[in-house]
Chains A and B, each alone.
Chain A
């Protein structure tokens, strides 16, 4: 199927890639940078969370718990104070991510084995550490209270957690696959649209079009080298997310990599389509970013759940390739899904890719 005329095209494209090591470096470093920017907020902060403690009860029981908190690697107790009125100020000054308040009747309540009012306030703008604080304290106090009350019919301490600023929550394991989906579609579309726009600017596209090369050969000759490059980037950032951010891999790498190729193909198809409507690299770059970044962040289920979007936006989300890839990558990495569960999603994503590439080839011909 691959005609001999595609080979020189591909060879030339690989030379372009090789001769531009700066762009290549950016292509591999940008994902790293983005993963770090997002990942730092998600993950690194999950240890050494700055904690404030307001001990109004001043009893052996409360001191015991405070020692446990101090010993934990997850928390750094940075402030101890007595006036609960200072709590708000501590948050505003960003001195603490969470505070634990032991009420005056804390010990007495424990002894009575009744439900003890223990206040935990967490900074919800950083949803992930807020969740962690809540979960960790719950676990800690659960264990403690069971130790204290030998009876243990009901956990005597009930945490009343209050989220400030941000009631929604997102976890690292959901965000890292989202970044992978976002980066791949962005880079894929950008790569192809810019390289074709560059040929238009330089006039080399015309020089190619007067040769016997067919439009589909031009399109494939461009797409295949960037598919290889995109795949390299994909493997790189997925392994990085898996190793560094410890996103679990419950399914098979082979399925993930295979579906990744389909996804990158779809991204390249979008880039090709964009390249048929733009004349300059600048416009190609802008349009690629707008066409991939916004929908992939806003409409794919990466940030906002699709089910809670207005109906028209839900329809649009169905033609956003990232929507499908998110289901695929989260499904494989987090749930251990395989082809059996994912084939309809993969089919839909392939369909979109084939549609885009068909329109791109058609538009390539029409231009003449």
Chain B
């Protein structure tokens, strides 16, 4: 258990720091294979933090360790000030999670899915209804409330999944490829909403394949084969590598 105390000075008392997420030396092995290899980074409160990486880079594995679905092999981290190795139960009420794979109940209506996830986060019916009304203009939920989730187009499903993840107003939001397979217009709407959430103080930790989406992020981490190759703001990264497109930089880093 001593892992988290490895470097207490560096981690400090998270409540006093403006960091929503801090990670030090996080590693996860599956047998001999190292999926996440000794990564460290910080995410500031209210920041949109982008995780960029090819397939199998270790993005999902990193998120799963941060939200308590997977035990790290070694290393430490804090989410919302709580230790990811020891205090998962305290982390859970403070985060929202949208998984890479759509994972709501297909045989429930959109409204029933919202009521269920609101309920397990401790919201009563009125509170859920209130939140749905608040989110309606951005996510158009009332139009689909009575439709069976299985029958919804992908873009609607993703909006619904996001709604389920933010009903309880989590201060930290983890989005794993939230826009995969969605058309550009829907993606644009989606990112507008993410930006609005961040403007209101929500920390957004988001992974993506789409290089153009990197531009929406305040800071980017470029991940390659389980390691972090670069972390900085998009303009700073461009300046450093003297390239104008994140895509070129990504390919440059991966080819190295």
Interface string of A52-78 (1 = CB under 8 A from B): 000000000000000000000000000
From B70, B92, B112, give the contact of A212 (CB < 8 A): B92
Size of the chain B interface, CB-CB below 8 angstroms: 30
Q: Is B11 an interface residue (CB 8 A)?
A: no
CA distance A51 to B64 in the complex (A): 73
Given contact pairs A12-B112, A15-B108, A368-B69, A212 touches B122 in the complex (Cβ within 8 A): yes
Tally of contacts, chain A with chain B, CB under 8 A: 73
Most chain B CB within a 10 A radius of its CB, from A20, A203, A214: A203
Given contact pairs A12-B112, A207-B99, A19 touches B107 in the complex (Cβ within 8 A): yes
Given contact pairs A210-B92, A212-B121, A12 touches B108 in the complex (Cβ within 8 A): yes
CA distance A211 to B165 in the complex (A): 10
B68 near A368 with CB under 8 A, answer: yes
CA distance A211 to B71 in the complex (A): 17
Closest to A5 in B: B120
Q: Is A202 an interface residue (CB 8 A)?
A: yes
Q: Is A208 an interface residue (CB 8 A)?
A: yes
A203 near B103 with CB under 8 A, answer: yes
Residues of B within 8 A of A211 (CB): 92, 117, 120-121
Q: Is B93 an interface residue (CB 8 A)?
A: yes
B108 near A210 with CB under 8 A, answer: no
Residues of B within 8 A of A7 (CB): 119
CA distance A20 to B112 in the complex (A): 16
Interface string of A241-268 (1 = CB under 8 A from B): 0000000000000000000000000000
A15 near B122 with CB under 8 A, answer: no
A208 near B104 with CB under 8 A, answer: no
Q: Is A33 an interface residue (CB 8 A)?
A: no
B108 near A213 with CB under 8 A, answer: no
Most chain A CB within a 10 A radius of its CB, from B112, B118, B119: B119
From A5, A204, A209, give the contact of B122 (CB < 8 A): A5
What are 14 A-B interface contacts by the 8 Å CB criterion? A4-B119, A8-B116, A8-B118, A12-B116, A15-B107, A16-B108, A207-B99, A209-B68, A210-B67, A211-B117, A211-B120, A212-B120, A212-B121, A368-B88
